[in-house]
Amino acid sequence: MNRERLQADLDMGQEQYVAAWRELHRFGYVSSAELRRLVVER
């Protein structure tokens, strides 16, 4: 995983990042690893 690319994606897709976090939180997954995995897959 390219760390710089991930950071750029997060900067450009703040809404998507928040939506992913809320989706994970709803199911009880709040670890940063799970969050990053979901963001990368989308």
Report percent pLDDT > 90 for the chain: 0
Please give the residue that has the higher pLDDT: either 17 or 1: 17
Give the predicted TM-score (pTM) of the model. Answer: 0.33
Please give the residue that has the higher pLDDT: either 11 or 15: 15
* pLDDT in the model for residue 14: 77
Please give the residue that has the higher pLDDT: either 10 or 27: 27
Distance (Å, whole) CA 6 – CA 17: 11
Distance (Å, whole) CA 17 – CA 25: 12
Taking residues 12-39, what's their average pLDDT? 73
Distance (Å, whole) CA 27 – CA 14: 20
